[in-house]
């Protein structure tokens, strides 16, 4: 939300700025060859070879069926392993100072899922769960099977992602306010987890909000992301049960001719002026510092995630002419440039008026109200996913933004900006906040550690 976003994170729908500018290609951490099987000359048919035959033979190859398709492939293509594309081979490291999935560039697919600890489960069970989750996340992010070699039984890998590389998979874990009550750790619950205040735009469904534990999954491949989701869900039993789940997406890497800021489902460039990791004050604004209070040392190098399911009233929005949409946002729809002039990255001139004496960026424009200049410098790292869950009961699209913002302190990030937006944002009539959550996300796990170990073994 640090201002200037097309739909910033509170009254609206923030994007991920530079994190959303994806190069169409790039070298990954790891690469792998064709893992589909099928020895040369053996007549064995792999999924990748069959897909290749369909491309070579066109519709005729598909009509011929499996045998005809395979023959066509062998006659026209060299039967050699094909390296994974850079999108599939890119690996994000699980262990590190911060958890993955915070400063990681936006991924094409995402799942958000919250869990409640099962009745009778406490600190011991939570620690064992976090140990299991951390182990499986580390394996999956490296492109390895979830089961670490088990051949059968409930722990076997589902095989959903056997053909794919890591695909920039990240798995991020957080703790909700009630987690500390369930585990007897209330004395270690940080003030940043105090409940968010109510806002006038809220239409919150409690069943799809909050939770003891929260998991964010992102990947550039839908199968890789779903594979991780199923692994996390399976490992949760019997200690925890799913409270709610939401599924999202972003533009696929390479879909645009050049890296650029993402758009949201309103068609607006969304994420301009997001904080950048290269900025000198980035860590101080996004990550919790070390040494503030010994009771909260476990949160050092972590962050707070505010999660909001924001429904966009697209039928109403799309009835507006483009010029009116631009007045609501305060930026041009075509390129994201402020209405005061320049390009997308040009600073807004909030005092600039037109020939008629009226401000070029209206008083109630979303970009003006959410800008750091109007919020005592308050900023957060917006890293959302769009969502579309079909048609709602009222016959309108159930679509919008799974807004996720990261900050060192929600009371100095999300809350003051949302309060300001709540008092007169021109975008408010076109959006509805339908679910909400606030989670403390521990720092990254060192080699040999699991996420949250410093809290659960304190």
Which residues does the annotation mark as catalytic? 270
The C-alpha angle 77, 82, 86, rounded to 5 degrees, equals: 140
How does strand 381-382 pair with strand 397-407? antiparallel
Question: If you ran DSSP here, which 8-state letter would residue 268 be given?
Answer: -
Residue 379's CB: how many other CB atoms inside 10 A?
26
Provide CB contacts within 8 A for 207, sequence distance 6+: 243, 244
Provide CB contacts within 8 A for 53, sequence distance 6+: 61, 69, 70, 72, 73, 77
Give the span between the Cα atoms of 213 and 115, in whole angstroms: 5
**Cβ atoms 426, 365 nearer than 8 A:** yes
**Cβ atoms 170, 92 nearer than 8 A:** yes
- The owner of tokens 């999108």 is 87
Closest CA to 126 of 116, 113, 136: 116
Give the span between the Cα atoms of 370 and 377, in whole angstroms: 10
Q: Report DSSP letters for 235-265, one per residue.
A: HHTTTEEEEEEEEEE-PPTTSSSS----B-T
In a 13 Å sphere around the CA of 27, the CA atoms on its Cβ side amount to: 1
Provide CB contacts within 8 A for 325, sequence distance 6+: 266, 267, 268, 317, 333
The two tokens of residue 149 are 């070699």
Give the span between the Cα atoms of 191 and 415, in whole angstroms: 14
Is the peptide bond prior to 383 cis by the omega test (within 30 degrees of 0)?
Answer: no
The two tokens of residue 123 are 């600190």
| Greatest Cα-to-Cα distance within the chain, rounded to the nearest angstrom | 78
Segment 391-398 long-range contacts (CB within 8 Å, at least 24 positions apart): 396/313, 396/314, 396/315, 397/312, 397/314, 397/315, 398/311
């Amino acid at each position: 939300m640090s201002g200037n976003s097309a739909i910033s994170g509170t009254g609206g729908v923030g994007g991920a700025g530079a994190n959303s500018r994806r190069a169409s290609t790039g070298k990954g951490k790891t690469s792998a060859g064709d893992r589909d099987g099928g020895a040369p000359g053996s007549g064995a048919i792999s999924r990748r070879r069959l897909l290749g035959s369909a491309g070579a033979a066109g519709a005729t190859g598909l009509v011929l069926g499996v045998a005809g398709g395979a023959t066509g492939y062998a006659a026209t293509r060299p039967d050699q392993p094909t390296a994974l594309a850079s999108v599939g081979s890119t690996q994000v490291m699980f262990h590190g100072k911060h958890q993955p999935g915070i400063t990681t560039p936006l991924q094409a697919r995402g799942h958000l899922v919250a869990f409640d600890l099962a009745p009778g489960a406490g600190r011991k069970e939570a620690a064992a769960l976090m140990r299991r989750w951390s182990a499986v996340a580390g394996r999956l992010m490296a492109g390895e099977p979830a089961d670490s070699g088990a051949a059968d039984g409930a722990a076997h890998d589902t095989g959903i992602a056997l053909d794919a590389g890591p695909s920039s998979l990240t798995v991020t874990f957080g703790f909700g306010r009630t987690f500390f009550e369930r585990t007897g750790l209330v004395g270690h619950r940080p003030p940043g987890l105090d409940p968010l205040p109510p806002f006038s735009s809220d239409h919150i469904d409690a069943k799809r909000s909050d939770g003891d534990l929260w998991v964010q999954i992102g990947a550039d491949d839908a199968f890789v992301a779903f594979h991780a989701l199923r692994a996390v869900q399976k490992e949760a039993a019997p200690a925890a049960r799913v409270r709610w789940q939401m599924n999202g997406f972003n533009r696929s890497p390479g879909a645009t001719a050049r890296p650029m800021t993402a758009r949201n489902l309103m068609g607006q460039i969304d994420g301009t002026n997001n904080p950048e990791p290269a900025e000198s004050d980035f860590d101080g604004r996004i990550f919790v510092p070390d040494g503030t209070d010994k009771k909260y040392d476990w949160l050092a190098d972590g962050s707070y995630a505010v999660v909001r399911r924001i429904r966009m009233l697209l039928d109403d929005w799309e009835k507006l002419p483009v010029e009116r949409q631009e007045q609501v946002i305060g930026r041009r729809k075509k390129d994201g440039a402020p209405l005061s002039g320049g390009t997308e990255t040009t600073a807004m001139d909030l005092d600039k008026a037109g020939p008629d004496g009226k401000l070029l960026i209206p008083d109630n424009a979303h970009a003006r109200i959410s800008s750091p200049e109007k919020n005592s410098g308050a900023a957060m790292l917006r890293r959302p996913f769009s969502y579309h869950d079909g048609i709602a009961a009222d016959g309108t699209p159930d679509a919008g933004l799974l807004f996720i913002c990261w900050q060192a302190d929600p009371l100095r990030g999300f809350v003051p900006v949302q309060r300001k937006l709540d008092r007169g944002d021109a975008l408010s009539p076109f959006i509805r906040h339908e679910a909400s959550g606030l989670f403390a996300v521990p720092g990254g796990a060192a080699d040999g550690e699991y996420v949250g170990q410093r809290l659960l073994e304190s």
